[in-house]
Structure 1
Amino acid sequence: MSSIRRILWARRIPTGDGELVADVVFPPGHDETTGPLPTLVARTPYGRQSFLHEVWLRLVDRGYVLVACDLRGRGDSDGRFAPWQRDTGDGVTVIEWAAAQPWSDGRVGTIGGSYDGLTQWWAAAGRPAPLRCIVPMAVGVRGRPGGRPFMDTGIPWQYWMWWFALTAGRTRQDVTAPAWGRHWAHRPLRTFHEAVGFPTAAWPDYVEGRIDCLGPGWRLSEEELAAVDLPALIVLGWWDDLTTLETWQALQAGPHASNKHLLVGAWDHVGNIVPRARLGGEDVSAGSLDPLAVVGEFLDHHLKGGTVPELPRARMWHSGANRWEDLAGYPGGTGERVLHLALDESGSGVLRRDAPGPDTTDEWLHDAADPVATLTPLDAFAWSDPPHDQRYLEARPDVRVYTSAPLTAPVTVSGRVRFELSVSADAADADVFAWITDVHPDGRSMLPAGFELEGRRLSVRNGPRPEPLTDGEVVWVGVDAQWLHHTFAAGHRIRVLISSAFTPTCAPATGSHAQWADQEHGRPFAVRVHHGPAHPSTVHLPLQ
């Protein structure tokens, strides 16, 4: 059999108000005359030919026709690209067009990750009849209930300008061209897009709140998620977009949970396609597998049937224990361990099972002109492979560290870590970020999961309506942090890190209550975490 794949270039798909453009790829030995095959659809803003890479064409070679389509306003497709705005109608049109072609057997599955996963959810919401299964990788679509902007945290992401630059114009842009590091401190952020040389309309839309990650144009409602009766394989890595697990949580609670499957491995965003052996300076090769081989098994089961076995409900890399596990669901634990943040006699931060006695305060100086920043090579990617060992951040005076005693027995945390913190600041507004590390006996403080640390802007502690801080008042904030399936080994220690900034992903707070995009850096100001009976601060660990 020939190894040559036939490609139909630039097929035009009518939408009623223009045309979308797609390439059609056949497996070796097949063309438009050899009989119908099950069909895969990928819809992307990154250029349809990104799916003509060998890593994706391996799926074609399993016996599928692939339709790779430019989104409206991208590549050769007509219209204007509207980022983060649901295009369910276009998704349904492409799927129905593909299923109606003589080379398709009428059964369609969708593939792709990140924004290409988002487009799958939007299409699935339209319930096209030919769609049999979806594989949305590394993207969340479940809204958050608090109604606050910026994923319900109140903290704007400066990173999004990088993504808007990538998708400016009609074709994928060279985002290594701007000197991102030099411009990252540009203020006011309202004109950030002009400073870096990408005058895209999307950044002003984000600044003014017309579009938002997990906002109205992005998310699916709880009712829509519950109505997704299609088999779905959710794929992501532990150092990836963990909002994906919030979507998984909604699917697990829905009426069609039994045909939803989860694959979580030791990789980052790009690793959903090709995992790396080393990540963040850490050898993660034991937690890598071939994600697209698992995707292929899932597609074969639902688009070909026969004797292809079903996947387990959840296949997850158990970090710390260093093994793959097939689980009946995730998270599956019912217990909880609460650790209290406190200061010992020397003033060092500690974590205790018992509540601390006297009230104490941990204070640092926050400077928006010199914020806590990961060692991220901005010209490559805005969160590209920063070190997992967090000691370089712990060395900063504006990162507060709380460490448990060495564990006498292993502790397995399975689920989402939550912080409940008592915080104050000498400013009208401030941010607080919190995360967990695993401290090894040799001193390494390793990040077990999460690249996009969650925080909370204090002015929106009670809801979307801003309430400026007054006179150093102590406020309570809850921060839902990392998702974990991790064992802290005996002899290791659990550590909590708290800061008031997390750049380059997030724009640092300036202490002002003015519109965030119009603020200058401002003066440094004090931020405090409080502990004790009057103002407790705790971390809640879900136990397996």
Structure 2
Amino acid sequence: MLIRLFITFTLSLCICHAHAQKPDLGAEYEVNDKVLIKTSDGANISAIMVRKKNLSQALPTILQFTIYVRDRDLLSLKEAADHGYVGVMAYSRGKYLSTDPITPYEYDGKDANAVIDWISKQSWSNGAVGMYGGSYNGFTQWAATKNLHPALKTIVPYVAGGPGMGLPMENNIFINPNYQWTFYVSNNKTLDDAVNNDRQRFRKMQFDWWYSGRAYREIDQIDGTPNPLLQKWLQHPAYDSYWQNMVPYQTDFAQIKIPVLSIDGYYNDSQISGLYYLREHTKYLPNAEHYLIIGPYGHFGAQRGGEKILNEMEVPSNALIDTKKITYDWFDYVLKNAKKPEILKDKINYFVMGENQWRHAASLAGMANGQLQFYLSTSKKNSKYRLQDKLPSAEQYLTQTVDFKDRQTSNNDYYPSPIIRKKIDTSNGLIFFSEPLKEDMIINGAFTGEIVASINRRDMDFGITLYELNSKGEYFHLSYVIDRASFSKDRSQRHLLEPHEITRLTLPSTRMVSKQLKKGSRIVAYLNINKNAFAQLNYGSGKDVSDETLLDANEKLIVKWYAQSVIRIPVLRSTPKS
């Protein structure tokens, strides 16, 4: 099961790009692919501009800012020109014609603003700029808003990445499947497809590290190639000022008073960061004009309108959207005073799986009119632990023992592939079942909760996965979270646990989903310690997790999971309960 997790996760984070001859756009277009823009600190940013020739008026500009240099970029800029805009593609410093060192994330916000400033001063520009793009290109849009240039009028981030939030770590846990990404984007001025596609090399590296018991900080030594970018990131295991300086943070969001359209997916690996921006934007600017479109999409599907088959699940045809058309309709709405895209009936526009229709809400909170609240009971029914709605006695707990020296057993099979399955891993961890639901309802949003636990060590990494178990005996993967206990109170500062002291751990942001549940279905919660080859191993010694080795695993981890632990699931009922 965990091997399938690795393969699926790696494939979702990598994509093959065959370099072909650059397309010839024809005599109708003016192309300048040798633009160099000087930044305030003396760096050069390489960019490409495409526009229709013989235009009599200045036009708004559509900007994409990316670390990915591809031959097809010209065709993307042609699309902007064909829609009545000037198209500009700018690359992270060090990429394409830039002679500076390649440094992902750190300078993109400032450099994007330098590009926007340059655009606003060109004779072909009317002074208005819109940005769009997905993943890394979604991150760069938010980076550009940290110090908002007056010429930037709107952004359209798809599945936006968040450095320090989703990659290279998620909830302060460094994860492995995108390890090769640093080489992919930094080995040359374009992209190193050969290294990115060498999955056998990086699969071997992960399992060699897993079986070796060596420190996570030495994983590139096991690979045999230094990874200086990873080593730099490992110096920042907290969401500290290093990461905070890359994108808007807290009150920075209050200054982002431009319209925003976000597009995301329930099964997008980076959904945590993508929706972080929406949550923070509307928290610090409650009247923000921020719209969301979200449905049963993966990381790449959300960027291209969806996939007919997603993690072996058939996606209804009416869930598929024309992402590019919606994007340009949005630009016309903001930059040319056209009508708003038809799909945007309200701020939150979401597809309900199972019901198979679109719904709309004024806010994320407004998606639900109630909640299911379950405690992780120690009692059993039909040999299964119960999710119960009554608060159990404080003294009740279940004990889990984890031997990190045992490398024959992996814990925490949480990845949603396939989404629908006949059985789930029951070899370890704790699994809880609710009573059958007494009515139809829609799970609508991200689950929350608190885990009450005590451990014999100073820290632990754990995960929770939610499933629907339907009347056919099928498990439908709803959502999951992985978390590091020592960062539960504050993502920017580590607070180690006191051994044997009962601690309440507030769950971080979990993955949002919308799924209709039928009467008779059950909710299943799978709780486990994270121990596998696909992420850091937290042995609980209290040292920096990147420095822990198998020598720190001489004492087994013993966890007492208290029955006061609670999971809250937002739901939409046809008739709200009082």
TM-score range, shorter chain: 0.7 to 0.9
> 1:345 offset after TM fit, Å?
5.0
AA aligned to 2:524 is R
AA aligned to 2:485 is L
> 1:158 offset after TM fit, Å?
3.1
What is the alpha-carbon distance in structure 1 between the residues aligned to residue 421 and residue 234 of structure 2?
31
Equivalent residue, structure 1, for 2:92: 71
Cα 1:442/1:4, change in 2 over 3 Å? farther
Instruction: Decide which of 351, 361, 371 is 2:410's aligned counterpart.
Output: 371
Cα 1:246/1:505, change in 2 over 3 Å? farther
What is the alpha-carbon distance in structure 2 between the residues aligned to residue 106 and residue 456 of structure 1?
44
Instruction: Decide which of 452, 456, 481 is 1:422's aligned counterpart.
Output: 452
AA aligned to 1:458 is A
Instruction: Decide which of 171, 179, 191 is 2:218's aligned counterpart.
Output: 191
Structure 2 residue ranges without an equivalent (≥5): 1-24, 573-578
Contact 1:140 1:247 survives alignment (8 Å): no
Cα 1:364/1:322, change in 2 over 3 Å? farther
Cα 1:89/1:154, change in 2 over 3 Å? closer
Instruction: Decide which of 517, 527, 542 is 1:498's aligned counterpart.
Output: 527
SS in 2 for 1:257: coil
Equivalent residue, structure 1, for 2:230: 203
Cα 1:164/1:140, change in 2 over 3 Å? closer
Equivalent residue, structure 2, for 1:19: 44
What is the alpha-carbon distance in structure 1 between the residues aligned to residue 107 and residue 35 of structure 2?
23
Instruction: Decide which of 251, 254, 271 is 1:242's aligned counterpart.
Output: 271
Equivalent residue, structure 1, for 2:398: 361
Equivalent residue, structure 1, for 2:326: 294
Contact 1:364 1:397 survives alignment (8 Å): no
Instruction: Decide which of 370, 373, 387 is 1:338's aligned counterpart.
Output: 373
**2:88 equivalent to 1:46:** no
SS in 2 for 1:298: helix
Equivalent residue, structure 1, for 2:146: 125
AA aligned to 1:421 is I
Instruction: Decide which of 174, 188, 191 is 1:172's aligned counterpart.
Output: 191
Across the aligned residues of Structure 1 and Structure 2, the Cα RMSD in angstroms comes to 3.1
Where do 4+ consecutive residues of structure 1 move more than 6 Å? 1-4
Equivalent residue, structure 2, for 1:317: 351
- Describe the superposition over 1:153-197 as per-residue Cα deviations: whole angstroms up to 9, x where unpaired: 443333453332332234322312251211113132212223334
Contact 2:400 2:429 survives alignment (8 Å): no
- Normalising by structure 1, we get a TM-score of 0.86
Contact 1:86 1:217 survives alignment (8 Å): no
What is the alpha-carbon distance in structure 2 between the residues aligned to residue 202 and residue 212 of structure 1?
16
Taking every aligned residue pair, what percent have the same amino acid on both sides?
20
Cα 1:354/1:210, change in 2 over 3 Å? closer
AA aligned to 1:115 is Y
Cα 1:526/1:209, change in 2 over 3 Å? closer
Cα 1:211/1:137, change in 2 over 3 Å? farther
Deviates most, 253-262 or 215-224:
253-262
Cα 1:181/1:33, change in 2 over 3 Å? same
Equivalent residue, structure 1, for 2:251: 223
Contact 1:374 1:504 survives alignment (8 Å): no
Cα 1:307/1:350, change in 2 over 3 Å? closer
Structure 1 residue ranges without an equivalent (≥5): 376-382
Equivalent residue, structure 2, for 1:111: 132
Contact 1:366 1:398 survives alignment (8 Å): no
SS in 2 for 1:110: strand
> 1:409 offset after TM fit, Å?
0.3
Equivalent residue, structure 2, for 1:378: none
Report matched runs for 1:257-276 at 5 Å.
257-274=287-304, 275-276=306-307
Equivalent residue, structure 2, for 1:379: none
> 1:221 offset after TM fit, Å?
2.0
What is the alpha-carbon distance in structure 1 between the residues aligned to residue 277 and residue 533 of structure 2?
25
- Describe the superposition over 1:56-79 as per-residue Cα deviations: whole angstroms up to 9, x where unpaired: 754443222210011111222232
Cα 1:34/1:273, change in 2 over 3 Å? farther
Contact 2:411 2:429 survives alignment (8 Å): yes
AA aligned to 1:359 is Q
Instruction: Decide which of 350, 357, 361 is 2:386's aligned counterpart.
Output: 350
AA aligned to 1:8 is N
Cα 1:81/1:61, change in 2 over 3 Å? same
What is the alpha-carbon distance in structure 2 between the residues aligned to residue 323 and residue 488 of structure 1?
14
What is the alpha-carbon distance in structure 2 between the residues aligned to residue 395 and residue 448 of structure 1?
15
**2:437 equivalent to 1:403:** no
Cα 1:360/1:465, change in 2 over 3 Å? closer
Contact 2:413 2:425 survives alignment (8 Å): no
Equivalent residue, structure 2, for 1:8: 32
Contact 1:435 1:482 survives alignment (8 Å): no
- Describe the superposition over 1:277-299 as per-residue Cα deviations: whole angstroms up to 9, x where unpaired: 11111112432212222111111
Report matched runs for 1:446-457 at 5 Å.
446-449=476-479, 453-457=480-484
What is the alpha-carbon distance in structure 1 between the residues aligned to residue 315 and residue 531 of structure 2?
24
What is the alpha-carbon distance in structure 2 between the residues aligned to residue 3 and residue 444 of structure 1?
57
> 1:494 offset after TM fit, Å?
0.9
What is the alpha-carbon distance in structure 2 between the residues aligned to residue 462 and residue 211 of structure 1?
12
Equivalent residue, structure 1, for 2:157: 136
What is the alpha-carbon distance in structure 2 between the residues aligned to residue 306 and residue 359 of structure 1?
61
What is the alpha-carbon distance in structure 2 between the residues aligned to residue 494 and residue 249 of structure 1?
26
> 1:53 offset after TM fit, Å?
4.9
Contact 1:142 1:250 survives alignment (8 Å): no
